[in-house]
Amino acid sequence: MVAKDTMRTRILEAATKRFKHYGYAKTSMAEIAADLQMSPGNLYRYFPGKIDIALAIADEHHEKQFEDLTAIASKPGAPVIERLRDFFHADMVQTYRMIEKDPRTFELAQIIKTERPTWVNGQLLQERKLIVGLLQEGVDSGEFDLPDVAFSAEMLQSAMMKFRYPQLWTNLKLPALEREFDGVTQLLLFGLAGRTGTARTCRIEGVAKAEAA
């Protein structure tokens, strides 16, 4: 007999393999069970339902991504603005690449989004805490001057939504997406009015590449 926790991870491994290969819809609980030489009913001793297996997989992945983002957010020596931009940029590119690599991930994301929207909100909330931290840092260092950090973080996240799940909102290719990302980020950070400046020309290589493509 294996420990309960081991069994759970074994189920997750088997499910991941099938989800990646055949997709969520075309994977049956019976198949996952068969892979582990058990009966379908037994899966329900470890997970309340099929969707919860997907959720656990997504959880795992999100945790890794969250660590990456935390690392970016707390990169020492870099100005807050730069870290903020890198933060959202990494978010966009990681998601884009992952979905590009295997479109099954996209299916999973869509299913989770429609069947467990609150879970998505939870992830967004967690990520927002990082943004709040960054903004607060910026306020403390004098880089930003914000009356309400939490509100600004929410708005920033809202404006960046389309770059967070790129393929969900648009079918632009990555270079075109990065061009838009750079442009919109520039606006969000420095605005249209006044204050044109040094940082405006950052990441221009990305723009040039996008226009060539």
Partner DNA sequence: CGATTGAACGTTTCGTTGATTATTTACCGC
Partner DNA sequence: GCGGTAAATAATCAACGAAACGTTCAATCG
Binding positions for DNA, rule: CB under 7 A: 1-2, 4, 7, 25, 27-30, 37-42, 44-45, 48-51
Rounded-to-integer distance, Cα 148 and Cα 138, Å: 12
> Using CB under 8 A as the criterion, what x/- string covers residues 124-143 for binding a copy of itself?
-----------x--x----x
Q: Does 118 contact a copy of itself by CB under 8 A? A: no
When asked if residue 78 is in the footprint of a copy of itself (CB under 8 A), the reply is: no
Kindly state the smallest distance separating residue 14's Cβ from a copy of itself, in Å.
35
Q: Report yes or no: 106 and 99 within 8 Å, Cβ to Cβ.
A: yes
* 182: number of Cβ within 10 Å: 19
Q: Which does 204 bind (CB under 5 to 8 A by kind): DNA, a copy of itself, none?
A: none
- What is the Cα–Cα distance from 22 to 11, expressed in whole angstroms? 16
Q: Is 154 in the site for a copy of itself (CB under 8 A)?
A: yes
Residue 202 in the binding site for a copy of itself (CB under 8 A):
no
How far apart CA 134 and CA 149 sit, in angstroms, is 9
Degrees to nearest 5, angle at CA 44 with 42 and 46? 95
Do 134 and 80 meet the contact criterion of CB atoms below 8 Å apart?
yes
Compute the distance between CA of residue 190 and CA of residue 34 in angstroms, rounded to an integer: 56
Q: Where are the beta strands (DSSP E) in 99-138?
A: none
Cβ nearer to a copy of itself, comparing 52 with 86: 86
* Tokens describing residue 130: 């990082």
- Out of 180, 202, 206, 209, which residue is the one contacting a copy of itself (CB under 8 A)? 180
Q: Which does 71 bind (CB under 5 to 8 A by kind): a copy of itself, DNA, none?
A: none
Nearer to a copy of itself, 122 or 183 (CB): 183
CB of 77 to DNA, least distance (A): 49
Do residues 131 and 188 make contact, with C-beta atoms less than 8 angstroms apart?
A: no
Query: Could you tell me the maximum CA-CA distance found in the chain, to the nearest angstrom?
Result: 68
- According to CB under 8 A, which residues from 14 to 33 bind a copy of itself? none
**Which residues are at the interface with a copy of itself (CB under 8 A)?**
81, 84, 135, 138, 143-147, 151-152, 154-156, 158-159, 161-162, 169, 180, 183-184, 186-196, 199-200
